[in-house]
Amino acid sequence: MKATAMTSENQSRHSQSDLPYVLILKPPPSFLLFGDHFLDSSKFQYLKAYESPLPLPQFLQEHAQSVQAIFSSGLAPVTAETIRLLPRLGLVVTTSQGLNHIDLTECRRRGIAVAGAGTILSADCADSAVGFLIDVLRKISAANRYVKQGLWSSQGAYPLGYKLGGKRVGIVGLGSIGTEVAKRLDAFGCSISYNSRSKKPLVPYTFYPNVVELAANCDALIICCALTDETHHLINKEVLSALGKDGVIINIARGPIVDEKELVRCLVKGEIRGAGLDVFEHEPDVPVELFALDNVVMSPHCAVLTTESFEDLGKLMVGNIEAFFSNEPLLTPVSLDG
Amino acid sequence: MDSIGVLMACPMNSYLEQQLDKRFKLFRFWTVPDKSLFLASNKDSIQAVVGNASAGADAELVEALPKLEIVASFSVGLDKIDLAKCKEKGIRVTNTPDVLTEDVADLAIGLMLAVLRKLCESDRYVRSGKWKKGDYVLTTKFTGKEVGIIGLGRIGMAIAKRAEAFSCPISYYSRTKKPEINYKYYPSVVELAAHCDILVVACPLTKETHHIVNRDVINALGPKGVLINIGRGPHVDEPELVSALVEHRLGGAGLDVFENEPYVPEELFGLDNVVLLPHVGSGTVETREAMADLVIGNLEAHFQKKPLLTPVV
């Protein structure tokens, strides 16, 4: 790759020790897929905690004075303990869409800037959500299995699905991802409503002040909000009951937003129509009861994991870190105001 | 009207069957042990044929039914009906346009997402119980991909409208350029295929469009290209398609229709970049009921000497 060639040339001219350090706690998925030099820059170097035999606290103590930034892919939490061991830490960048793995309170306290994925992953998340909804209603994965097992020719026509057009879609969390989902489903003739922490004045969709009311008034509930203390088990027995037996739930946000035990019970008993799930409460463990259900479509937490997103995110993260070390404004700063 | 004989070509929908049985004298063609004998004995009783995408009214059947007045198809496609023969004999033909447009377009987009984002493969992976921490499925982004549509009729336009919501640039091939349309026009399918990431077949099946997706088109679409077929199986040269997929000369395919349904080439079963559906384009509870009502409505209109709801001939 061109960037790699340029980097090795530059490194032969600069002394390695001149470049500021960016700490990586665990290897990010992009390293595993595209190699260690995927995120190289001529303006900084990586300090890979995972390559050291030392336990993390010791490693951090040893390098306490060198680390000015942490790059997190979301696989390793950036805890208050970690932050406290790094007095020179000024920036945490993450490629993850969610921020619940970073102790934002501690960052705010210390004046540490945080840069995220911005809206760069929103399209992929939205595409997944829409894909799941069509799949569940039209039984795409289930019918594909049917055909590939040779059952079309031996057992005949597959049971009918349900029309997407005209369905009432309720979006939980109308942020960047929720907005992209709404824009797409609007084109399919769905009517959109939402619940968010606050009503959005310029938006043409119907606002419901709580999720139970939203669920009672929609045919498909799509979870697009962040995981916080307030949203833990937001989708509970009451919400699922309000959604009802013709309702579908799609979760491309975080597993713990949904009371998984209750969801599984509803699905097994036929109390809701179906579900599309990219995330689970205890990944990679998935309730085995779901494996027998044709009205459930699942994926292994990869709603944002497209080749294009890796490339775009990589460039964005490097850009944020370079901006930080050049004292320029971050490209995608996260507001830490509570 | 229960003395009017209606021949139903094959099983297609139990609600439709019930309604036809209630209102007319229904003959179920697929239950008959000897079709020629049946036709010879009942030819004077049959005034209507109800067909679908699998079976309709070919020249032979039309000739065998001297009292035939109307063929009502439980489909929008007319490729199973000998239209010229019907015209010649003054036989009316109706189909079910518009009511199924949205479902078919929805499925086309669903197939695009399923192929590019590996929805079926991901689901299979999780169901295997083998998901380990750090494992996931790397897929291809759909937003922004160039979508090329063969046939910009009702279904083609509905597909374009949906794809645009994903910021997909749209291009098309049609028998003639449509001056009022803002999408990029290509005068040949090969050129269209060469300039798009996802090619979708959305035109009617006629003699001219038979195998409209052939080896040249598949080659032009290439190893990163994806073919979506929600039209008719014979639109695509199936053996060519199969070898292109098996040899990785084509990036992937989402297919709802096949040349010899319900038989699907088994070489496709093991390919994770291929999604196969059992001709479910209009297969929703809501739409099939609307289609059935349209068939019944057309038949009743005809026999009550009122204007047909959705005449073709």
User: Closest Cα to residue B277, out of B102, B42, B54, B115?
Assistant: B115
Residues of chain A neighbouring B224 (CB-CB closer than 8 A): none
Q: Give pLDDT tens digits for B41-52.
A: 999 999 999 999
pLDDT value of residue A321: 97
Cβ partners under 8 Å of residue B129, min gap 6: A286, A288, A291
3-class SS of residue A287: coil
- Measured in angstroms, the CA of A185 and the nearest CA of chain B are apart by 8
Active site residue B288: no
Mean pLDDT of A12-40: 81
Mean pLDDT of A311-316: 92
Q: The dihedral of CA A147, A153, A155, A161: what is its sign?
A: positive
Q: Name the catalytic one among A84, A281, A301, A322.
A: A301
Active site residue A301: yes
Chain A nearest-CA residue for B256: A144
Residues of chain B neighbouring A140 (CB-CB closer than 8 A): 107, 110-111, 114, 119-120, 275, 277
Q: How confident is the model at residue A13 (pLDDT cuts 50, 70, 90)?
A: very low
Is B136 in CB contact (< 8 Å) with chain A? Answer: yes
Query: Which domains are assigned to chain B?
Result: 5-97+285-303 (3.40.50.720), 101-276 (3.40.50.720)
- Measured in angstroms, the CA of A326 and the nearest CA of chain B are apart by 32
In percent, how much of chain B has pLDDT > 90? 97
3-class SS of residue B86: helix
3-class SS of residue B50: strand
| Cβ pair B102:A188 closer than 8 A | yes
Q: Give pLDDT tens digits for B149-185.
A: 999 999 999 999 999 999 999 999 999 999 999 999 9
Average pLDDT, chain A: 92
Residues of chain B neighbouring A75 (CB-CB closer than 8 A): 134
Average pLDDT, chain B: 97
Active site residue A84: no
Bridge partners (DSSP) of residue A333 are A115
Residues of chain A neighbouring B291 (CB-CB closer than 8 A): none
In contact, A280 and A261? CB cutoff 8 Å: no
Test the B interface: residue of A176, A283, A296, A299 with most B CBs within 10 Å: A299
pLDDT value of residue A338: 60
Among B129, B142, B162, beta carbon nearest to A127 = B142
> What are the start-end ranges of the H helices in chain A?
2-13, 29-34, 56-62, 80-84, 104-110, 122-138, 140-148, 151-155, 176-186, 211-216, 237-243, 260-269, 307-325
In percent, how much of chain A has pLDDT > 90? 84
Bridge partners (DSSP) of residue A193 are A170, A206
Test the A interface: residue of B284, B285, B291 with most A CBs within 10 Å: B284
- Measured in angstroms, the CA of A184 and the nearest CA of chain B are apart by 5
ipTM for the whole complex:
0.96
| Cβ pair A131:B114 closer than 8 A | yes
pLDDT value of residue A267: 98
Q: Give pLDDT tens digits for B176-221.
A: 999 999 999 999 999 999 999 999 999 999 999 999 999 999 999 9
Residues of chain A neighbouring B147 (CB-CB closer than 8 A): none
Is A158 in CB contact (< 8 Å) with chain B? Answer: yes
- The DSSP H or E segment spanning A45 is strand A45-48
B129: exposed, middle or buried (C-beta count within 10 Å: 0-12, 13-18, 19+)?
exposed
Checking if the pLDDT of A7 tops 60, the result is no
Cβ partners under 8 Å of residue A151, min gap 6: none
pLDDT value of residue A17: 66
Is A202 in CB contact (< 8 Å) with chain B? Answer: no
pLDDT value of residue A73: 86
Q: Give pLDDT tens digits for B98-157.
A: 999 999 999 999 999 999 999 999 999 999 999 998 787 789 999 999 999 999 999 999
**Structure token pair of residue A300:** 């292994």
Mean pLDDT of A94-99: 84
Checking if the pLDDT of A16 tops 70, the result is no
Test the B interface: residue of A25, A96, A164 with most B CBs within 10 Å: A164
Test the B interface: residue of A25, A73, A124, A144 with most B CBs within 10 Å: A144
Checking if the pLDDT of A254 tops 90, the result is yes
Three-state DSSP string of B104-123: HHHHHHHHHHHHHCCHHHHH
| Cβ pair A158:B280 closer than 8 A | yes
Is B140 in CB contact (< 8 Å) with chain A? Answer: yes
pLDDT value of residue A245: 97
In contact, B284 and B103? CB cutoff 8 Å: yes
Is A288 in CB contact (< 8 Å) with chain B? Answer: yes
Q: Which amino acid is at A53?
A: P
User: Which of residues A86 and A32 earns the better pLDDT score?
Assistant: A86
pLDDT value of residue A15: 52
| Cβ pair A128:B125 closer than 8 A | no
- The DSSP H or E segment spanning B63 is helix B59-64
Q: How confident is the model at residue B64 (pLDDT cuts 50, 70, 90)?
A: very high
Q: How confident is the model at residue A182 (pLDDT cuts 50, 70, 90)?
A: very high
Mean pLDDT of B74-95: 97
Q: How confident is the model at residue A10 (pLDDT cuts 50, 70, 90)?
A: very low
In contact, B17 and B8? CB cutoff 8 Å: yes
Nearest-angstrom CA–CA distance, A54 and A258: 37
Residues of chain A neighbouring B263 (CB-CB closer than 8 A): 153
